[in-house]
């Protein structure tokens, strides 16, 4: 059985990292603040991947975002997926050259499908993460939101997802806007929107407030990875405690904690000589 993954997501907007609640953003700090308060060379030992999303709505600057990505990738030895505003092969190429291993695309899945095909042909389908943001629609179903939350698509989310999952993406990041930043747990009903014959790996996001919420996602057979984007729920050694607890309880995460600790100590010994 393939091991499931624990993913940490960073939200970036106009040079700053943000807290998001129902897609309403609160500024936390810039890359200097992040360096001071989060040591990603340490945090990376307790996650399987890092996702960095640029949600800037106006005057998006991919060069500035790429520079922040370079800083984040230093000493971060887990795969990084990055995206937001990818509208060309050159945009994707810049992110990959700045430390990303995979490219996250959202709006082009609905507005520019030829670009999705071009990206897959250029970099490989496994390099693409499709991101879909979903919101409840007057309690009658769900709708999909694009353009960093600025546009709600017509038709029910199920119909869009059927089409999206036919696109050449390696996995799908499925995020609940209603649960986003609430700390109340995942909206597991989102998984019912996915076709039963889906073979695309699903990353579930939106709503994590504690380790129990991560476990609720991990035990679901339709979920391949769980993500949290809350900078403060897992500050300090929170991610370490969460992963140790999940592994100790026998859930299907890779148990490489001791190996990671040993590798980090060896690297520290070498750098200090």
Q: In terms of DSSP H, where are the helices of the chain?
A: 31-37, 40-43, 62-73, 89-97, 108-111, 113-123, 157-164, 211-218, 238-248, 257-272
List the end-to-end C-alpha distance of the chain, in Å, as a whole number.
41
Q: What is the dihedral of CA 119, 15, 205, 100, to 10 degrees?
A: 40
Q: At what angle do helices 89-97 and 113-123 cross, to 10 degrees?
A: 40
- The separation between CA 241 and the C-alpha centre of its own chain, rounded to angstroms, equals 20
Known catalytic residues? 133
Per-residue CA distances from 257 to 8, 75, 214, 221, 239 (Å): 16, 17, 18, 24, 12
214, 6 in Cβ contact below 8 A? yes
202, 172 in Cβ contact below 8 A? yes
Q: At what angle do helices 62-73 and 89-97 cross, to 10 degrees?
A: 30
- The separation between CA 235 and the C-alpha centre of its own chain, rounded to angstroms, equals 17
Could you give the count of Cα atoms lying within 13 Å of 154 in the half-sphere of its Cβ? 0
Q: At what angle do helices 238-248 and 211-218 cross, to 10 degrees?
A: 50
Q: At what angle do helices 257-272 and 238-248 cross, to 10 degrees?
A: 140
């Amino acid at each position: 059985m393939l091991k499931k993954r624990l993913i940490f997501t960073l939200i970036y907007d106009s040079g700053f990292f943000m807290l998001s609640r129902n897609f309403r953003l609160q500024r936390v700090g810039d890359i200097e603040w992040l360096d001071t308060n989060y040591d990603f060379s340490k945090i990376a030992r307790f996650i399987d991947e890092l996702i960095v999303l640029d949600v800037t709505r106006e005057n998006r600057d991919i060069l500035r975002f790429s520079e922040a990505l370079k800083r984040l990738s230093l000493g971060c030895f887990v795969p990084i997926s990055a995206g937001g505003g990818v509208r060309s092969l050159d945009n994707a190429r810049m992110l990959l050259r700045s430390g990303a291993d995979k490219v996250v695309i959202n709006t082009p899945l609905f507005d520019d499908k030829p670009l999705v095909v071009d990206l897959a042909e250029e970099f490989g389908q496994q390099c693409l993460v499709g991101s879909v943001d979903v919101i409840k629609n007057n309690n009658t179903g769900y709708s999909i939101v694009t353009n960093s939350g600025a546009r709600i698509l017509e038709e029910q989310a199920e119909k869009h997802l059927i089409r999206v999952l036919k696109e050449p993406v390696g996995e799908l990041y499925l995020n609940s806007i209603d649960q986003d930043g609430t700390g109340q747990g995942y909206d597991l009903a989102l998984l019912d929107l996915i076709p039963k014959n889906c073979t695309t790996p699903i990353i579930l996001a939106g709503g994590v407030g504690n380790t129990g919420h991560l476990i609720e996602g991990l035990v679901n057979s339709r979920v391949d990875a769980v993500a949290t984007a809350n900078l403060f729920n897992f500050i300090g050694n929170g991610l370490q405690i969460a992963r140790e607890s999940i592994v100790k309880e026998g859930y299907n995460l890779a148990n490489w904690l001791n190996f990671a600790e040993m590798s980090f100590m060896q690297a520290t010994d070498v750098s200090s000589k």
